[in-house]
Amino acid sequence: MKTFKMLFCICLISLSVVSCEKDLLNTVPKDRLASDLFWKTENDALYASTGIYSRLGDQWRYSSMDGYSDIAHFILQWRSESAIEKNTFASNENVVANEWTYYYGIIQAASSFLENVDKVPNLDPLLNARLKGEAKTLRAFAYINLAMLYGNVPLVTKSMSVAEAKAISGSDVSLIWDFISTELTAAAADLPTTQTEKGRVTKGVALGLKARAMLYAKRFTEARSASASVMALGVYQINSSYEKLFDYSGEASTEIMFARQYTKNISAHDVYYMYTANSLYTQRCQLIPTKQLVDAYLMKTTGLPITNSASGFDPFNPYVGRDPRLSFTIYVNGDVLHNGKVLNTLPGNATADAITSSAENVTQTGWYFKKYVSSSDYSQPWNCGVNLIYLRYAEVLLTYAEASIELGGANIDQSVRDALNVIRGRADVGMPLVTTSVQAELREIVRRERMVELAIEGHRLYDIRRWEIGPSTAGTIKGMTYNSPSSPGTLVTAELTGFVKEFNPSKHYLWPIPFAQITLNPNLTQNPNW
């Protein structure tokens, strides 16, 4: 009964904040009966707060973000996500509208909480401040994503009527970044360094998200300061095992700062299905790695890119001697699957994983994702309970390093190299130390580190946008290079010649404002060239 009551209350508060016109920034309904009955006890405040967290996305949204970049590819080309990946979509694409609605849903839930929590009589002031800090942090989290996806978006901080929603204008993105910075600074002041209830945001999360936001906004001094503040808290450290960090055994790691909480049989996801090899579960895989990602992993002994002739790379044994994070992130040809069989993706090998450009859910590049794919979920791949990570300490260190590098001068000191080396020096990674102090070299190092360290965690699209490297992502999707079975000694690279990604720098660094929003609200301005 207690569990039912909690779930019921969460549903009740959700009803008080959901949209009556879902295309209008999740405006609140006119009927406020639920609000009149709610906000009476401390538990009401706690349930309402939990309701904001319940809006965080599932594994599809989490994984899809990298699918819109150059390091992953959506297999099913008829899906809306495929059009986004190719940049051949319009403002009425479902994904464009859904992301807008999703993030404004979080904003509306958080804003409604902040408007109403003071109604609870005799609520402990410290608890009140803490819960408000959590709501502000989650709202800022939503605005970070809106700013990176759409640019100038409406800055909404209160519940609105339908009429108000139809009249609001977009705010300059610089004002959005100002709001995020102020909001997260205030939230951090009221949040504890640790939380008793797992999954709730903390002081470190607020500061870590501020560091992320300021890096995205190219406010490097603020980004460096916020990330340094996280480091100074002394409560986070890099997990010794990269491999275990994304499995059940790593969920208690002090590297994980903010994660979407899941539990088998109660609140589960099916990320195993999304990445699974076709030979394990037929016609389930949705997202696969690309050559851009696989080639980014350095050689372990020399620390050099595989394109460098001195790296020690052997194209006939392409996975030998590479950065161990490659083997923890991606299933490559020759790996053992959870059914005990060896993965064979060579074309024409008669297994269910043979590279093909036509069969649905079969790898077209020769690889599958391994990160988050736990052997514990093999028997029930629809019932995965591994938490999905939104923020971890490695990202904070990378932010500190990048912001310092971009500031240059005296900011490039040993602390920058230390931040990179503690990530590269995990016990099961052990990459060579970074020793250079040259700004250009460090910039290349930190950008590569972000690609391989944070792969399939949803960061790559935003990195492409803020670094303005979009044109380099255009072209066909390429896969593994292999020794031709029909002509031994000849190297062949898999390529999806019929799938061509576009990139127009004057257009594609932002998504369009959703068509429905523009139609309903003439005060919104469409992004350039959409």
Q: What is the mean pLDDT of residues 321-340?
A: 97
Structural domain boundaries enclosing 125: 2-191
Examine the pLDDT at 12 and tell me if it is beyond 60. Answer: no
The answer to the question of residue 267 being in a domain is: no
So what's the pLDDT on residue 8? 28
So what's the pLDDT on residue 27? 55
In DSSP terms, 392 is beta-bridged to 256
Examine the pLDDT at 488 and tell me if it is beyond 60. Answer: yes
So what's the pLDDT on residue 217? 98
So what's the pLDDT on residue 360? 80
Q: What is the mean pLDDT of residues 247-255?
A: 97
Question: How many structural domains does the chain have?
Answer: 1
Q: What is the mean pLDDT of residues 432-440?
A: 98
Identify the residue with better confidence: 134 or 79: 134
The answer to the question of residue 210 being in a domain is: no
Q: What is the mean pLDDT of residues 90-119?
A: 96
Q: What is the mean pLDDT of the chain?
A: 92
Which string of DSSP letters, residue by residue, matches 35-52?
Answer: HHHSS-SHHHHHHHHHHH
The answer to the question of residue 490 being in a domain is: no
Q: What is the mean pLDDT of residues 101-113?
A: 96
So what's the pLDDT on residue 358? 66
So what's the pLDDT on residue 163? 84
Beta carbons of 259 and 204 less than 8 angstroms apart: no
160 — pLDDT class (breaks 50, 70, 90): confident
Q: What is the mean pLDDT of residues 211-222?
A: 98
- 308 Rama class: left (phi>0) / alpha (psi -120 to 50) / beta: beta
Q: Where are the alpha helices (DSSP H) in 74-219?
A: 80-86, 94-116, 125-150, 162-167, 173-190, 203-216
Examine the pLDDT at 40 and tell me if it is beyond 80. Answer: yes
The answer to the question of residue 124 being in a domain is: yes
Q: What is the pTM of this model?
A: 0.92
Examine the pLDDT at 167 and tell me if it is beyond 90. Answer: no
Backbone phi and psi for residue 330, each to the nearest 5 degrees, phi listed first: -135, 135
The answer to the question of residue 512 being in a domain is: no
Beta carbons of 517 and 23 less than 8 angstroms apart: yes
So what's the pLDDT on residue 128? 98
Which of 14-18, 332-336, 484-488 shows the lowest per-residue confidence on average (mean pLDDT)? 14-18
Q: What is the mean pLDDT of residues 175-201?
A: 97
Beta carbons of 328 and 297 less than 8 angstroms apart: no
Beta carbons of 246 and 240 less than 8 angstroms apart: no
Question: Which structure tokens are listed for 166?
Answer: 């139809």
Which of 14-28, 140-154, 258-272, 308-322 shows the lowest per-residue confidence on average (mean pLDDT)? 14-28
pLDDT tens-digit map of 61-76? 888 999 999 999 999 9
So what's the pLDDT on residue 2? 38
Distances (CA, A) of 28 to 34, 58, 290: 12, 24, 43
Q: Rounded CA gap, 191 and 130, in Å?
A: 5
Examine the pLDDT at 199 and tell me if it is beyond 80. Answer: yes
* Length of the chain (residues): 530
Amino acid occupying residue 292: Q
Examine the pLDDT at 11 and tell me if it is beyond 60. Answer: no
So what's the pLDDT on residue 34? 63
448 — pLDDT class (breaks 50, 70, 90): very high
In the block, residue with structure tokens 């959005």:
176
The answer to the question of residue 432 being in a domain is: no
Contacts of 313 (CB under 8 A, 6+ apart): 299, 306, 321
So what's the pLDDT on residue 513? 97
pLDDT tens-digit map of 347-386? 989 899 999 866 788 999 999 999 999 999 999 999 999 9
So what's the pLDDT on residue 520? 93
129: domain CATH number? Answer: 1.25.40.390
The answer to the question of residue 122 being in a domain is: yes
Q: Rounded CA gap, 223 and 241, in Å?
A: 27
Q: What is the mean pLDDT of residues 290-303?
A: 98
Examine the pLDDT at 87 and tell me if it is beyond 60. Answer: yes
Which string of DSSP letters, residue by residue, matches 442-503?
Answer: HHHHHHHHHHHHSTTSS-HHHHHHHHT-GGGG-EEEEEEEEE-SSSTT-EEEEEEEEEEE--
Percent of the chain scoring above 90 in pLDDT: 87
35 — pLDDT class (breaks 50, 70, 90): low
The answer to the question of residue 334 being in a domain is: no
pLDDT tens-digit map of 451-480? 999 999 999 999 999 999 999 999 999 999
